[in-house]
């Protein structure tokens, strides 16, 4: 079915879905895991365990009083060895819990399916599960599912676009657990009284599209839509527009246009939690990149080190030069292989110098390719020029805060200018300027 | 951390297109016009091309060296400037004037303003305009195609003569076919519409440019020259105006210069309309037959202004106040 709404811009990045046919392998339990207390957008958790404590799988080890936060659970059974700030995927030190595993993977006694009778129970259960958005930034799901009273949600958007190169973690979920996804969608529709759900899958995944379409047949509330394979199709704003024609206003959220967007893995996890009561303690990670010997999809406990995952995939062909958490368009480069897989880690990728190096910048020739590529209709070249000239007060005229940092501008630039990189600096400066003004 | 990893901000993937490749595409797109020029005007034309290209590259090399800046001749933009300048010169131009033109284009207009991307007008056209004003006679002495003889008139100067009501004695109108193929006197690269269109198609296929500026520019000229005919409204000969002079070369290769044209589609449309209107005003009511160079350069200068007033509304920002 052709799409009615096609977002402006974007880039046709290479797909490189090398692991599409790699069925998920289960990682052997690592000797230790390091579980950071920040795995979501919102307030960090405080550890509820101390060195010497024994913990079991699914036992809560960190929580926060704050609403915008999600509890954190142990992914293994074993003994807590350290509770202190440790190197985090973001490059900073974050309070983390290190657990030496005993290999038994004993399940915590308190684990049982949650009792859900109404909307409140459901939201509470989602919070207790520790669920955060498994596709993107890791926003706590219970917050997303509970928008302010004046915002009526009439459409659940299920994100199966997976537009980043390399990553096939969502794709494997769609192939291996389609019933779970449909089950999760139904739960959300039922408990939140949302009349319909639209699932979007990029047209480079015809197998997943066909399968989900078939599975969705017996519930007329759920429709499955094929999306144009174009990065950043899976970004919230472009996705909601492509599937509903609604434009999320500048500075607003999907809820402002009556939508809530959940990743396929996120909805599938809701179904699994409601059935078993086992919190979010593991996830599927695509391990790939030109220097990885055996690229794979791996089901790994949260807190597994990147080194362990790469070892499981046959190690490296040559010394990695750059290692990413996430895809090549928006992923975060890692300082060390000691950092851990967290709840929203969908991929880890390793590159050699040839692919991983930062290209040197040439002068801007104003070719306008960044303007063509920007899904938000911005002028990246002008913002770049102003940021470099430190003209911060002029940046708002160019709508800098609307940038979704998808990186399409930098990708498309023939002069290899660091456009989105400078826009990030500019956004920061504009926010600080605004704070000072008030 | 014995294992030192390289860290930088995303994206970690870049498209294969490079500035150098884009410049190479422009050079490739100019090959038909270059070949046509040499075919019609002989080795003399080839000599002019060789001289301006070498002078342009050498100027860039020496100036970067003199200013202690990193070398940039490998980006091929100096070659493009030299080539475009040659294609905008009469085949009989004294070579020293051609050299002066190349030095003005690459040295003065491009490098003194900061090099690639910093020039406020198209270097080749800017240089051409200075040459036209400084050495008017040499810049308007034309050669007949295929024979090394001075031509009496170009298609455009014929038109100019008729509009001033003193037709050149015994002059013959050029046929559309001759003008389309390029068998008429004129600048080296401007006479053959066919060759220019081949280059245009190549640029479109390679997605170096879009159709907007060339088509809107040419269309505006056609429409206005038709309306503003000498025998009253709607009596003009738009096809003759489109094929004569440097309009097509200007519309396809000069007006589309990235650096000196607006970046948004809306801005480009305003700019192309401006180029078209000015060209017609200069051609019909100016005291020189040609107006393309002046029109484009004026619009080049207005480009920053157009850009400032055509900042697009951000996605989802339509309803925002202020």
Q: What are the distances in angstroms from CA B13 to CA A164, A244, A318, A356? A: 11, 30, 20, 8
| Verdict on whether the full-model pTM lies above 0.90 | yes
CB contact under 8 A, B17 and A399: no
Is residue A250 situated within a structural domain? yes
Is residue A63 situated within a structural domain? no
Strand partners, A8: none
Domain count, chain B: 1
Q: What is the mean pLDDT of chain B?
A: 91
Cis peptide bond prior to A316, omega within 30° of 0? no
User: Above pLDDT 90, what percent of chain A?
Assistant: 95
CB contact under 8 A, B11 and A369: no
Band of residue B166 on the pLDDT scale cut at 50, 70, 90? very low
Res. B119: pLDDT tops 70? yes
| ipTM for this prediction | 0.91
Is residue A226 situated within a structural domain? yes
The domain boundary, picked from A222, A256, A274, lies at: A274
For residue B139, what pLDDT is reported? 93
Give the range of the structural domain holding residue B270, as residue numbers without chain letter.
18-162+182-307
Q: Which residues of A touch B81 (CB under 8 A)?
A: none
Does A409 appear as a known binding residue? yes
Instruction: Using DSSP, state whether A324 is helix, strand or coil.
Output: strand
Strand partners, A316: A292
Q: Where residue B42 sits, what CATH number does that domain have?
A: 1.10.3430
Is residue B50 situated within a structural domain? yes
Q: Alpha-carbon distance A193 to B285, whole Å?
A: 72
For residue A2, what pLDDT is reported? 54
Q: What is the mean pLDDT of chain A?
A: 96
Give the range of the structural domain holding residue A398, as residue numbers without chain letter.
367-435
Res. B2: pLDDT tops 70? no
When scoring A165, A352, A414 by the number of chain B Cβ atoms within 10 A, the one with the most, hence best to mutate, is: A414
Band of residue A437 on the pLDDT scale cut at 50, 70, 90? confident
Is residue B115 situated within a structural domain? yes
Chain A residue closest in CA terms to B317: A250
For residue B151, what pLDDT is reported? 79
Q: Which residues of B touch A311 (CB under 8 A)?
A: none
For residue B160, what pLDDT is reported? 65
Band of residue B167 on the pLDDT scale cut at 50, 70, 90? very low
Does A370 appear as a known binding residue? yes
Structure-derived torsion over alpha carbons of residues B71, B73, B75, B78, reported in degrees to the nearest 10: 140
Q: Length of chain A, please? A: 438
The domain boundary, picked from A259, A274, A289, lies at: A274
Q: Alpha-carbon distance A321 to A356, whole Å?
A: 6
What are A131-188's pLDDT values in tens digits? Answer: 999 987 899 999 999 999 999 999 999 999 999 999 999 999 999 999 999 999 999 9
Q: Which of A361, A374, A363 is nearest to A409 (CA)?
A: A374
Res. B264: pLDDT tops 50? yes
Mean pLDDT of the B212-232 span: 94
Instruction: Using DSSP, state whether A225 is helix, strand or coil.
Output: strand
Q: Alpha-carbon distance B172 to B153, whole Å?
A: 9
Q: Which residues of A touch B264 (CB under 8 A)?
A: 368, 371, 379
Band of residue B106 on the pLDDT scale cut at 50, 70, 90? very high
Is residue A41 situated within a structural domain? no
Q: What are the distances in angstroms from CA A415 to CA A100, B28, B211? A: 49, 20, 23
Q: Where residue A241 sits, what CATH number does that domain have?
A: 3.40.50.11540
For residue B163, what pLDDT is reported? 46
The domain boundary, picked from A274, A302, A328, lies at: A274
Is residue B122 situated within a structural domain? yes
Q: Alpha-carbon distance A309 to A64, whole Å?
A: 29
For residue B158, what pLDDT is reported? 75
Examine the domain organization and report whether A124 and A257 are in the same domain. Answer: yes
Q: Which residues of B touch A324 (CB under 8 A)?
A: 10, 12
Res. A200: pLDDT tops 90? yes
Is residue A24 situated within a structural domain? no
Examine the domain organization and report whether A136 and A251 are in the same domain. Answer: yes
Q: Alpha-carbon distance A207 to A174, whole Å?
A: 9
In a 13 Å sphere around the CA of A159, the CA atoms on its Cβ side amount to 26
Q: Which residue has the tokens 């308190």?
A: A110
How is residue A290 written in tokens? 């030109």
Mean pLDDT of the A200-215 span: 96
**In this structure, are residues A170 and A265 in contact, taking their beta carbons and an 8 Å threshold?**
yes
* B5 vs A11, A334, A369: nearest CB: A334
User: Above pLDDT 70, what percent of chain A?
Assistant: 99
What are A70-120's pLDDT values in tens digits? Answer: 999 999 999 999 999 999 999 999 999 999 999 999 999 999 999 999 999
Mean pLDDT of the B112-129 span: 95
Q: Alpha-carbon distance B296 to B71, whole Å?
A: 29
Examine the domain organization and report whether A136 and A266 are in the same domain. Answer: yes
Ramachandran sector of residue B182 (left: φ over 0; alpha: ψ -120 to 50; beta: rest)? left
Contacts of B201 (CB under 8 A, 6+ apart): none
What is the distance in angstroms between the Cα of B277 and the nearest Cα belonging to chain A?
24
What are A338-393's pLDDT values in tens digits? Answer: 999 999 999 999 999 999 999 999 999 999 999 999 999 999 999 999 999 999 99
Is residue A30 situated within a structural domain? no
Res. B321: pLDDT tops 50? no
Q: Alpha-carbon distance A122 to A120, whole Å?
A: 5
Does A155 appear as a known binding residue? no
What is the distance in angstroms between the Cα of A407 and the nearest Cα belonging to chain B?
5
When scoring B7, B10, B80 by the number of chain A Cβ atoms within 10 A, the one with the most, hence best to mutate, is: B10
User: Above pLDDT 70, what percent of chain B?
Assistant: 94
Mean pLDDT of the B266-290 span: 93
Q: Alpha-carbon distance B32 to B203, whole Å?
A: 12
DSSP per-residue codes, A371-397: HHH-TT---HHHHHHHHHTT-GGGGGG
Q: Which residues of A touch B6 (CB under 8 A)?
A: 321-322, 333, 353, 356-358
């Amino acid at each position: 079915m052709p799409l009615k709404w096609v977002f402006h811009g974007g880039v046709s990045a290479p797909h490189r879905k090398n692991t599409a046919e790699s069925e998920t392998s289960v990682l052997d339990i690592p000797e230790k895991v390091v579980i950071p207390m920040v795995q979501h957008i919102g307030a960090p958790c405080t550890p509820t365990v101390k060195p010497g404590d024994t913990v079991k799988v699914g036992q809560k080890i960190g929580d926060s009083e704050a609403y915008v936060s999600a509890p954190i659970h142990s992914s293994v059974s074993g003994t807590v060895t350290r509770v202190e700030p440790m190197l985090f995927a973001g490059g900073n030190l974050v309070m983390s819990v290190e657990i030496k595993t005993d290999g038994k993977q004993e399940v915590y006694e308190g684990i049982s399916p949650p009792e859900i009778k109404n909307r409140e129970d459901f939201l509470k259960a989602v919070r207790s599960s520790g669920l955060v958005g498994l596709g993107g930034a890791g926003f706590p799901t219970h917050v997303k599912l509970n928008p302010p009273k004046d915002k009526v949600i009439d459409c659940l958007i299920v994100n199966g676009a997976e537009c980043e190169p390399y990553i096939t973690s969502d794709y494997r979920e769609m192939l291996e657990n389609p019933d779970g996804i449909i089950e999760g969608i139904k739960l959300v529709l039922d408990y939140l009284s949302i009349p319909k759900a639209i699932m979007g899958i990029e047209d480079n995944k015809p197998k997943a599209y066909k399968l989900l379409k078939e599975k969705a047949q017996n519930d007329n509330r759920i429709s499955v839509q094929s999306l144009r394979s174009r990065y950043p199709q899976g970004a919230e704003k472009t996705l909601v527009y492509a599937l509903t024609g609604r434009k999320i206003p500048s500075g607003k959220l999907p809820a402002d246009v009556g939508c809530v967007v959940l990743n396929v893995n996120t909805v599938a996890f809701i179904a699994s939690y409601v059935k078993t009561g086992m919190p979010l303690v593991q996830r599927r990670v695509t391990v790939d990149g030109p220097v990885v010997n055996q690229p794979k999809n791996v089901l790994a406990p949260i807190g597994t080190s990147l080194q362990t995952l790469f070892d499981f995939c046959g190690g490296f062909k040559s010394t990695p030069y750059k290692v990413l958490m996430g895809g090549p368009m928006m992923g975060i480069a890692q300082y060390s292989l000691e950092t851990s897989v967290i709840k929203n880690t969908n991929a880890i990728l390793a590159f050699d110098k040839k692919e991983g190096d930062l290209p040197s910048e040439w002068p801007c020739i104003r070719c306008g390719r960044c303007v063509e590529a920007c899904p938000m209709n911005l002028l990246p070249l002008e913002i770049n020029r102003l940021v470099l000239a430190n003209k911060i007060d002029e940046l708002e005229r160019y709508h800098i805060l609307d940038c979704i940092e998808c990186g399409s501008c930098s990708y498309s630039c023939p002069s290899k200018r660091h456009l989105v990189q400078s826009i990030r600096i500019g956004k920061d400066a504009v926010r600080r300027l605004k704070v000072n003004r008030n | 951390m014995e294992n030192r990893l390289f860290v930088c901000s995303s994206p970690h993937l870049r498209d294969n297109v490079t500035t150098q490749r884009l410049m190479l595409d422009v050079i490739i797109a100019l090959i038909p016009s270059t070949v046509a020029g040499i075919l019609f005007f002989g080795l003399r034309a080839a000599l002019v091309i060789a001289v301006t290209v070498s002078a342009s590259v050498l100027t860039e090399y020496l100036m970067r060296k003199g200013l202690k800046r990193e070398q940039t001749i490998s980006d091929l933009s100096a070659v493009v400037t030299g080539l475009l300048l040659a294609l905008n010169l009469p085949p009989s131009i004294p070579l020293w004037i051609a050299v002066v033109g190349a030095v003005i284009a690459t040295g003065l207009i491009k490098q003194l303003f900061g090099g690639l991307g910093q020039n406020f007008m198209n270097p080749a056209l800017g240089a051409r305009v200075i040459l036209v004003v400084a050495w008017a006679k040499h810049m308007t002495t034309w050669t007949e195609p295929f024979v090394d003889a001075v031509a009496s008139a170009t298609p455009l100067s014929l038109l100019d003569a008729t509009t001033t009501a003193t037709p050149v004695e015994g002059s013959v109108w050029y046929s559309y076919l001759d003008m389309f193929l390029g068998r008429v006197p004129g600048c080296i690269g401007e006479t053959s519409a066919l060759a220019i269109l081949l280059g245009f198609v190549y640029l479109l296929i390679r997605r170096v440019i879009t159709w907007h500026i060339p088509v809107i520019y040419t269309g505006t000229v056609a429409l206005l020259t038709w309306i503003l005919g000498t025998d009253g409204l709607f009596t003009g000969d738009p096809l003759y105006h489109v094929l004569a002079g440097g309009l097509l070369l200007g519309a396809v290769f000069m007006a589309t210069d990235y650096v000196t044209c607006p970046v948004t589609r809306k801005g480009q449309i305003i700019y192309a309309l401006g180029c078209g209107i000015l060209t017609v005003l200069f051609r019909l009511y100016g005291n020189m037959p040609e107006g393309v160079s002046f029109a484009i350069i004026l619009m080049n200068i207005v480009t920053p202004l157009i850009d400032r007033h055509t900042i697009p509304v951000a996605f989802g920002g339509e309803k925002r106040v202020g």
